[in-house]
Amino acid sequence: MTTYLDHAATTPMTPAAREAMVEQLAITGNASSLHGPGRDARRVVEESRERIAAALGARPSEIVFTSGGTESDNLAITGSLRAARTADPRRSRVVVSGVEHHAVLDVVDHAVEHEGAQATFVPPGECGTVHPDAVRTAIEEDASTVGLVSVMWANNEVGTVQDVASMAQIAHEHGLAFHTDAVQAAGHLPVDFAASGVDLMSVSAHKLGGPIGIGALVAKRDARLVALSHGGGQERGIRSGTLDTPAIRAFAVALTEAVEHREAEAARLGALRDRFLAGTQALDLGIRVTGCWEAGDITTRLPGNAHITIPGCEGDSMLYLLDAADVAVSTGSACQAGIPQPSHVVLAMGRSEEEARGSLRVSFGWTSTQDDVDAVLAALPEAVTRARRASGAA
């Protein structure tokens, strides 16, 4: 049986969410229809919207359903930039951190290449922390040209949690909208949309025990967005398309459950993470923890995130060797045109390309146990030895 330790990529649906989705799949009804079955579906959607809003500290009217985090990021960034430039053609610049998920970075790159936008990337410190003062400096290069500021709530690779509330406040001091990708944070950290002050927030169900293919952009009612899809005018006219009632219901169940048990689960996952990271140091293999790590810290680093670099090893080799040992983890690199690329996050944190290529992310979730930690620690020594031999480092 595979030891699954890639929950940051996707985590299994919880039994409650799965049961809710299966039950709803057996019921016919388009939430935009006016007949009885349609009204029944609409009731499920709106009740789910209320539950999701309550769990995220938002108003129901601020929840815009999407297909997930990537679409939410696209809508937030492209939609905001187009709206800003329509109001003032000078506002073509986006201020964004250098450690964003590619769902943000690639959207920004597209806007630069195809829509005449400009991008200012804010580098992180060695822990992966984006400092609010650095965001202020980037904005004040010329605040009159900025259309949007975007910094993620928690990093998907190294787990660093950002002070988005302070950054949102700085953006607002200059009359600017602030977006945060909270895909890794929702359900795992105390996420409160209203209290944070952000204007736009992306979330995704499959990172917290819900189904793949459903998420939301949480958008203030006065957020200026140009729609990217057109049709039936659903979701405030921002995101047209027939609503996926079964997935929305399962999303609400999973998020509500995650928030209800968040504190206890964060402590449990943090203990598993700490046991794993301490175990890697005891192996005496030269393994280095990426980012800042202090045992028991579940506020500045995601509770379930462990990221390591292994000298003399290619991350891809380690991934396949561990997979052969029935341990599923993730590499910190991306693959473009079949060629492994070093992690842009690790590079931005000041690590060498060799270290970035030798990165592994081990992420824990609701199914994880101490036996899983023991399994990956037991498999690491042989995998490291073989990977180093293959790379000529041993």
Inter-residue contact 170 to 135 (CB < 8 Å): yes
Token look-up 């009612």 returns 221
Inter-residue contact 345 to 197 (CB < 8 Å): no
The sign one gets for the Cα dihedral 66, 260, 294, 308 is: negative
Beta-strand ranges (E) seen in 60-155 are: 63-66, 93-97, 118-122, 146-150
* DSSP-derived secondary structure letter, 241: S
Token look-up 């293999």 returns 285
Tokens of 388: 């180093």
C-alpha separations of 385 from 2, 46, 231, 314 in Å: 21, 54, 56, 12
Task: List Cβ neighbours of 137 (8 Å cut-off, separation of 6 or more).
Answer: none
In the residue annotation, 127 being an active-site residue is answered as no
One-letter amino acid of 246: P
Among residues 66, 76, 137, the alpha carbon closest in space to that of 111 is found at 76
Instruction: Round to whole Å and give the CA distance between 250 and 19.
Output: 8
Task: List Cβ neighbours of 152 (8 Å cut-off, separation of 6 or more).
Answer: 97, 99, 100, 101, 104, 162, 180, 181, 182, 183, 184
Burial of 215-241, coded b for 16+ CB within 10 Å and e otherwise, reads bbbbbbeebbbebeeeeeebbeebbeb
* DSSP-derived secondary structure letter, 239: B
Task: List Cβ neighbours of 392 (8 Å cut-off, separation of 6 or more).
Answer: none
Active-site hit among 127, 292, 313, 335: 335
Catalytic residue positions, numbered: 335
